[in-house]
Chains A and B, each alone.
Chain A
Amino acid sequence: MSDKQALHGVKVLELARFIAGPYCAKLLADMGTETIKIEKPGVGDEARKREPFLNDIPHSERSGLFLYLNTNKLGITLNLDSPTGNEIFKKLVQDVDVLIEDNPPQELAEKGIGYENLRQINPKLIMTSITPFGQTGPYRDYKAYYLNTCHAGGIGYLTPLGSSYPDRPPLKWGGYSSEYACGLVSAVATLGALYSQRLNGMGQHIDVSKQEALLSLAKVFVACYANEERIADRFKGLLQGDAARRLFSATRCQDGYALLVPIFERQLESLEKLLGSSESEQAKDRHQRIAQWLASETKEEVYTKGQAARIPAAPIRDVSEVVNSEQYEARAFFTEVEHPQMGRVKIPTAPYQFSKTPWSNKYAAPLLGQHNEEVYCHRLGYSKQDLVMMRQTGII
């Protein structure tokens, strides 16, 4: 690992669960922040209870989801409902630059640890609050799991694009990807505020609504209604007739699906050359000719030949093909981390390669309360005897 990291010296506290908040904090931690993740004593983050488990054996210290989302963090347990826990939390906040949290609006304020309380003890604090509908507005207290936020954010209604099943429901994005996206959108604002804090020492509160985070990804389509009263749907997007079928369909080839997306004129010309169609054939439907060509090729051949001709072409890769991709291998997109209970696990690194401050892994995800002693005794000055007491009384 490199000791030179872009966000070295930045301290982050995470009071968040499941995907969006932890992913936001992970993005920062992987670039060098010192991050302390707070979990509920005895219970922990619900991501610990989610698949994939090593060898498919459910175990709260062997979730691949939790591992991926919590790399490079220190883990402590703390009960915020106890007065002592609440005080300890404030001590932790005193010393950090960023707090990432995903509690329902007002919940922290009711415990005396809302932004207005915390700014008093740490004026340079950046507090990023990530909730389904944001801190204000009529839906702010509505309940929403990841399925609901995906559909609230307008991207569900458009999925799956190119659908030919009018009676089937709109879909969420695959896996938890929409929640990850919310974490990413939140990370951008957090770093913007951090940049400003580095220059002038000023903290602030960032309100991220997951609905609006996802809406930002679909904004061009949803704004089309505002300006032109056109409604995009998952069947045709905003296209008419055959155009949707041409643009939005993956085409079957010998061993799966592939796609060609020639959009620029020069790409269309290259495609005609690649298809080798005679002039009379060129008058025929291009989509049909593409389908014919693909039917005789493997998806990797379509990819290689298409890209060699500078046409946007790709195989629809399944998960094993993504992991085993020659390109990902060449770029070392995956790396192995050592986890105290899971052993060596291969995980994705990051999609950006920095020439001077590379992505690096210092810790795998923490075990529940793994760093209690380090944080409480070595940083906050509690004795080991205090730690025993606090553990017995359920504070940590």
Chain B
Amino acid sequence: MAGALKGIRVADFSWVWAGGYAIELLAFLGAEVIKIESKRRPDSPRQFTASMGDTYPDLDASPVFNHLNLNKLSVTINLSKPRGVELARRIAAISDVVAQNMGPEAMKGMGLDYEDLIKVNPDIIYLSSSASGATGPHGRDVGFAPVFAALGGFSSITGYPNGPPALSMGEIDMLCATTSAFAILVALIHKAHTGEGQYIDLSFAEAVSALIGDILLDYTMNEKVQKRQGNVDNIMAPHNCYPCKGEDKWISIAIANDEEWCRFCDVLGKREWIEDKRFSDSYSRWSNQEELDKLVGQWTRGFTNYEAMEVLQQAGIAAVPSFSAEELYYDPHLAQRDVWVKVNHPVMGEQTTLAPPWKLSATQAKITCASPLMGQHNAYVFEELLGLSKAETKKLEEEEVIY
């Protein structure tokens, strides 16, 4: 069975993580995605990954670009040349969706903003995503994930109570990307209903704020400014990560009620805690949680994080390790769910990546191919889709329009 979005074509002008991954999600769902890029301004993950300290001398050999651009096609178009813009417009004219996150003004400068493209495709869906959105006094903001997390309020509420605010890198980009994919899908369904396309202006900072709605309401309702509180919950205790055997190994344990607490004490062989005034009900456990955390930690230290998970889960206690990348890679559960997927990349060879994050029973979301090489699909797109002759594309290459 084909993917859910079979027949949908996306002209993908997006780049970096938040842009690239958004459209990869649509490609996982079966859309035909044409990534429009150029040697003049290669997508940064083809060149380097700041948060890993890596640079890639070959634009066609970046593992990070690969993770973010699976299932896509690539064409190389020099958008600084009018004929390049013309080619890009022709791709937009035969697409359902255009997506870009180069900053609200860059596309306008090139004649590729929404107003330009509805002239060639009146029903186009056009997503413009940026750090703070395209309107308002900060409508020109530039940023990466740490900026979105800082502006959106996430950093101020994540971290140790007495430590600095936590910075965020790629995960926040991926979250913003997922939000972008959702917005495009909403517009696609509206288009399926009515035939009508539209313009979407998305703010990454707001995408972050949307995920802390309750905390924002605590301020709008009660003027309370919540701060960083580590792993602490408002009701549950124990509710923390506890040290296990080995270096930087931890298990998360959460106890929601007296019933779980009794079973927990049983497993630990500490039935006396059930009667202990410090811990005998939820309120006292919550109030004395620092003391309780120390005692629980003394027990967990005697086990590996997997051993602790096994013995506690047997008793119906919510206990799961804080998994590292290594543990996740070897984890039997993820292996059985086919989470790790090998793709064959034409330059890098076999690469391991993650399967799409959902299992659809009918329109399976699949990885069908590795990320594209620069311009790997020029011939298909320019000749088959746009109908240019071989001679014409050759000339455009010589003129560095296809570049």
Contacts and interface: CB of A to CB of B under 8 A. Distances in A.
A318 B225 contact: yes
Interface in B223-259: 223-228, 230-231, 233-236, 239-243, 248, 250, 252-254, 256
B78 interface: no
B63 A227 contact: yes
A29 to B, nearest CB: 12
B376 interface: no
B168 A161 contact: yes
Interface in A150-184: 150-163, 165-166, 168-177, 180-181, 184
B4 A192 contact: yes
Contact of A148 (B8, B141, B320): B320
B339 A212 contact: yes
Contacts of A217: 170-171, 174-175, 178
B182 A191 contact: yes
Contacts of B156: 174, 316-319
B317 A143 contact: yes
A151 B320 contact: yes
B53 A243 contact: yes
A63 to B, nearest CB: 8
A49 to B, nearest CB: 8
Interface stretch (B87-95, B146-154, B272-280, B384-392): B146-154
A31 B190 CA distance: 10
Interface stretch (B32-40, B212-220, B283-291, B393-401): B212-220
Interface in A138-154: 138-139, 142-154
Contacts of A198: 189, 192-193
B109 interface: no
B151 to A, nearest CB: 5
Contacts of A350: 206, 210
Contact of B216 (A150, A233, A323, A356): A323
A355 B144 contact: no
B235 to A, nearest CB: 7
Contact of A155 (B171, B242, B358): B171
In this complex, which of B188, B206, B240 has the most chain A Cβ atoms within 10 angstroms of its Cβ?
B206
A194 B189 contact: yes
Contacts of B326: 225, 229, 231
A315 interface: yes
Contacts of B50: 247, 263
Contacts of B188: 191, 195
A259 B318 contact: no
A144 B325 CA distance: 19
Given A55-B222, A195-B192, A6 B186 contact: yes
A239 interface: yes
B194 to A, nearest CB: 9
Contacts of B353: 219, 223, 226
A382 interface: no
A233 B334 CA distance: 20
A232 B325 contact: yes
How extensive is the interface on chain B, given as a class?
A: 35 or more
A247 B169 CA distance: 10
A165 to B, nearest CB: 7
B254 A64 contact: no
Interface string A360-389: 000000000000000000000000000000
Interface in A89-147: 115, 133-139, 142-147
B322 A157 contact: yes
B359 A312 contact: no
A253 interface: no
B136 A10 contact: no
A316 B150 contact: yes
B202 A219 contact: no
B137 A327 contact: yes
Contact of A173 (B150, B158, B317, B352): B158
Given A181-B175, A250-B150, A323-B219, A147 B254 contact: yes
Nearest to B197: A356
A61 to B, nearest CB: 14
Interface in B133-178: 133, 135-144, 146-147, 150-160, 163-171, 174-175, 178
B67 to A, nearest CB: 5
A223 B334 CA distance: 13
B120 to A, nearest CB: 18
Interface stretch (A277-285, A288-296, A340-348): A340-348
B198 interface: yes
A355 to B, nearest CB: 4
A274 interface: no
B196 interface: yes
A171 B230 contact: yes
Q: Which of A6, A149, A228 has the most CB of B within 10 A?
A: A6
A324 to B, nearest CB: 9
B373 interface: no
A248 B145 CA distance: 11
B164 A257 contact: yes
A342 to B, nearest CB: 8
Interface string A324-349: 01111011011000000010011110
10 contacts: A169-B242, A177-B154, A181-B178, A194-B189, A220-B64, A312-B146, A313-B147, A320-B223, A346-B217, A352-B202
Pairs A-B, 3 closest by C-beta atoms: A160-B166, A174-B157, A330-B136
Given A136-B336, A187-B182, 19 more contacts: A68-B214, A142-B309, A143-B316, A146-B254, A147-B231, A159-B158, A159-B166, A160-B160, A161-B169, A162-B166, A188-B29, A211-B334, A212-B339, A237-B51, A250-B165, A342-B221, A351-B202, A351-B210, A353-B135
